[in-house]
Structure 1
Amino acid sequence: MAQDIKAPSFPESVADGEIAVWHKAAGDPVQRDELLVEIETDKVVMEVVAPFDGVLTEIVKPAGEVILSDEVIGRLEEGKVAKTSPAPVAAPPGTPEQPAADDDGAMAQLGPAARRMAEEEGVDLAQVVGTGRDGRITKDDLLKHIEAARVAPTPVPAAPAQSPVIAAAEPGGDRLERRVPMTRMRKRIAERLLSVSRETAMLTTFNEVNMAPVMALRGKYKEQFQGAHNGTRLGFMGFFVKAACEALKRFPVVNASIDGDDIVYHGYQDVGVAVSTENGLVVPVLRDADFMSMADIEARIADFGGRARNGKLSIEDMTGGTFTITNGGVFGSLLSTPILNPPQTGILGMHKIQDRPMAVDGEVVIQPMMYLALSYDHRLVDGKDAVQFLASIKDFIEDPARILLQL
């Protein structure tokens, strides 16, 4: 008897999802815990696996269909399924043995990000060795293959090859374009950015901070820190998260949010950390960050980054948050105005560390400086509070002992 396969239970912040890709067709045998379908929501891509061995008898919701929480998307009939392998393809004498590959079949097995990369780079999947479950090709496999192809000498082709990637236009040649649908995540990001500009009175204030004290502290203890905390690296983000938590305690209005005609003051600091992915910016949350150690913060951020790149962040990871920190400096940004992450009323922007001449005790000294930006909702946060909040961040970073001593 066939049993229903249902979509995951979406939290209240996610209204619906969309079937991104089915990894199995109707009638295909499946094994327990084998990936069946990927569902794309406004925030993450969710995977649905087989609960038992059996046969996928019906696909109720094909790719591209919008689905609701716990809605039936397919049916699976339970039964023991033998694990089968495709017959090997005979190779010419002297040729190393390789598993047979079908580009269409292999492409169907890829996740959305990996499939997009393969299409844009024009990768021949038959040449890629998969290291995933059952020999599936992962995003890391594609990256390694593409990098190896760029390093290796390119043989001269016998005839011009066709590629899905748009080549550079030649004078007098065709003016090519390529149209692709916007992902749900990108559409949701666009909607939220527009709503911020329409529904908030966003303003940004700036300051600059001397990073020399933190850089000296980090340089002195980074090896000991890494050895004492199971390989966790000491970065700059941990200092800024701790500094933000202390500043939020002193200026609770920056940690508050507006709910209709009410102001909600949060008695905790859940700090969101913006992470860039191929599908857009996501903001996983460090819950109760004020109670986390520096090592816990750095380890959690590293974990968030790895899972974000592999599409493994859950909706719970990105739900909530009372304040956000974003670091455009990792991409070389010297100065920017970060956009609020509603319903939060404040977001801190970090930027590139740049050596600049500064006046110190009447002398010109070269110092590693960073511009800081605080965007805030002026409906709730007054300019005085915003400026003093950012000055507190500056004081904590320029004298890190103040964080430990809570001064």
Structure 2
Amino acid sequence: MSIEVKAPVFPESVADGTIATWHKQPGEAVKRDELLVDIETDKVVLEVVAQSDGVIKEIIKAEGDTILSAEVIAIFEAGAEGSASADEPAPAAQSAAQESSSADDLKVNPAARKLAEEKGVSLADVKSSGKDGRITKEDVLNHLKTPEPAPAQVATAAPAAPQSAPAPVVSAPVIPSFNQGERAEKRVPMTRLRATIAKRLVSAQQNAAMLTTYNEVDMKAVMDLRKQYKDMFEKKHDGVRLGFMSFFVKAATEALKRFPSVNASIDGNDVVYHGYQDIGVAVSTEKGLVVPVLRDVDAMGLADIERSITDFAGKAREAKLGIEEMQGGTFTITNGGTFGSLMSTPILNPPQTAILGMHKIQDRPMAINGQVEIRPMMYLALSYDHRMIDGKEAVQFLVTIKELLEDPARILLDI
């Protein structure tokens, strides 16, 4: 039976998408729930999986083609038998594969299956945590992090640090390497996400009267507080670690309530004032910068913020962020300090009118009560749209954040 393979229904904010990668070719055997194709949009990467066993009869939209919402991209022949894929084991290895054939009966997400195949992991050994016992990609990663007694297995285990997690299913174009002394050029097409980021950044600079004001904050009080309570905090909140970002988010929330113009946006000739604080947190991925949004931050505690940021970062690295998780937002925070940046000028995230830039914490000599002391200092940068925000408001907003961070008890006391 022939079935039309269609692109997912895109949200209203997404006009079209691009075929990124076909994981199966015509005539190649496909199993139910196996990944067929990745579709890249301006904001996220979407996966299309097989609804039943069979083969792809015809690919209508090739890699690089632009497609519309729900457009037919291939014809699938359900129940048909196809040739073995290049990824299937050679005959000499089939006896070993048969031992783990029971894994095919498990409920497995396509991304989890692909990662397990790449890492040589038997899905029968992976502990599932998904709905209805489904094995997720996170389950495979957790399995890889578990120490193995045999040295050969330890050598293939994935590093425990989340930053070293495998790349998303859809990899960004790899930066080409060159031999020493080679005078060559290699042209690589820009990804759709990177092109969209570039377009928005240029638009922000062209359409806004953007200015940046700077200040510096003494991080000693926050660092002392974190050092004193981080173990209790982690124990109390089921392993959630107390980081610096939650303090900045809460300080920014208080400052936004005091300076509504900084929390506003411009829509044509209208100014839209928001009676809530939805703060976007910029996350860097291999495919580019994405900004998931924390909703109603005023009602969130430090643990809620840290947990949400950790979840967003994990989803971003695996290209699993939903479009709805990146829409909206009344203010943005970006942290270049994680990469060692000492000072930078962040660019606005339209239609927002301001963005806060965090930077590297560095010990510097400071004059404290007439004495020179070494303090952990961070430069802060606030870029803002001068059409909406006056310099006085911008400076006072940034000073408010500085004061709240240097005396974090004021965040809790709302003073």
Q: TM-score, normalised by structure 1?
A: 0.80
**Worse-superposed segment, 25-34 or 191-200:** 25-34
Q: Aligned to 2:212, what secondary structure does the other structure show?
A: strand
Give the letter aligned to residue 47 of structure 2: E
Q: Aligned to 2:230, what secondary structure does the other structure show?
A: helix
Query: Are 2:413 and 1:402 equivalent residues in the alignment?
Result: no
Deviation at 1:37, TM superposition (A): 0.6
Identify the residue that residue 107 of structure 2 maps to in structure 1: none
Identify the residue that residue 25 of structure 2 maps to in structure 1: 25
Pair 1:74–1:348, CA change in 2 (3 A): same
Deviation at 1:147, TM superposition (A): 9.6
Identify the residue that residue 194 of structure 1 maps to in structure 2: 202
Q: Residue by residue, what CA displacement relative to the aligned partner does 1:277-302 show, whole Å, maximum 9, x if unpaired? A: 11111111111111111111101111
**Distance across 2 between alignment mates of 1:81 and 1:295:** 51
CA contact (8 A) 1:323 1:347 kept: yes
Q: Aligned to 1:352, what secondary structure does the other structure show?
A: coil
Q: Residue by residue, what CA displacement relative to the aligned partner does 1:21-41 show, whole Å, maximum 9, x if unpaired? A: 111122333232211110011
Identify the residue that residue 105 of structure 1 maps to in structure 2: none
Identify the residue that residue 290 of structure 1 maps to in structure 2: 298
Q: Residue by residue, what CA displacement relative to the aligned partner does 1:77-111 show, whole Å, maximum 9, x if unpaired? A: 333879979453549xxxxx899xxxxxxxxxx99
Identify the residue that residue 364 of structure 1 maps to in structure 2: 372
Deviation at 1:375, TM superposition (A): 0.3
Q: 1:262 pairs with 233, 247, 270, which one?
A: 270
Q: Aligned to 1:217, what secondary structure does the other structure show?
A: helix
CA contact (8 A) 2:20 2:39 kept: yes
Give the letter aligned to residue 273 of structure 1: V
Identify the residue that residue 169 of structure 1 maps to in structure 2: 180
Equivalent pairs, count: 358
**Distance across 2 between alignment mates of 1:254 and 1:132:** 52
Identify the residue that residue 211 of structure 2 maps to in structure 1: 203
> 5+ residue gaps in structure 2?
99-109, 127-136, 145-154, 160-174
Identify the residue that residue 271 of structure 1 maps to in structure 2: 279
Query: Are 2:74 and 1:74 equivalent residues in the alignment?
Result: yes
CA contact (8 A) 2:315 2:321 kept: yes
Give the letter aligned to residue 54 of structure 2: G
Identify the residue that residue 237 of structure 2 maps to in structure 1: 229
CA contact (8 A) 1:31 1:81 kept: no
Q: 1:238 pairs with 241, 246, 249, which one?
A: 246
Q: Residue by residue, what CA displacement relative to the aligned partner does 1:192-215 show, whole Å, maximum 9, x if unpaired? A: 111111101000001111100000
Q: Aligned to 1:365, what secondary structure does the other structure show?
A: strand
Identify the residue that residue 154 of structure 1 maps to in structure 2: none
Q: Aligned to 2:5, what secondary structure does the other structure show?
A: strand
Identify the residue that residue 10 of structure 1 maps to in structure 2: 10
Query: Are 2:257 and 1:249 equivalent residues in the alignment?
Result: yes
Deviation at 1:331, TM superposition (A): 0.5
Q: Aligned to 2:401, what secondary structure does the other structure show?
A: helix
Identify the residue that residue 376 of structure 1 maps to in structure 2: 384
**Distance across 1 between alignment mates of 2:309 and 2:356:** 16
Pair 1:87–1:228, CA change in 2 (3 A): closer
Pair 1:14–1:374, CA change in 2 (3 A): same
**Worse-superposed segment, 307-316 or 214-223:** 307-316
Q: Residue by residue, what CA displacement relative to the aligned partner does 1:166-207 show, whole Å, maximum 9, x if unpaired? A: 34423xxx4122221111111111111111111010000011
Give the letter aligned to residue 404 of structure 2: F
Q: Residue by residue, what CA displacement relative to the aligned partner does 1:334-360 show, whole Å, maximum 9, x if unpaired? A: 111100000100100000001111111
Q: Aligned to 1:301, what secondary structure does the other structure show?
A: helix
Pair 1:83–1:265, CA change in 2 (3 A): farther
1:145-160 aligned within 5 A: none
Question: Percent of aligned pairs with the same residue?
Answer: 62
Deviation at 1:132, TM superposition (A): 8.9
CA contact (8 A) 1:169 1:176 kept: no
Deviation at 1:129, TM superposition (A): 3.6
Query: Are 2:54 and 1:57 equivalent residues in the alignment?
Result: no
CA contact (8 A) 1:166 1:177 kept: no
**Distance across 2 between alignment mates of 1:32 and 1:284:** 31
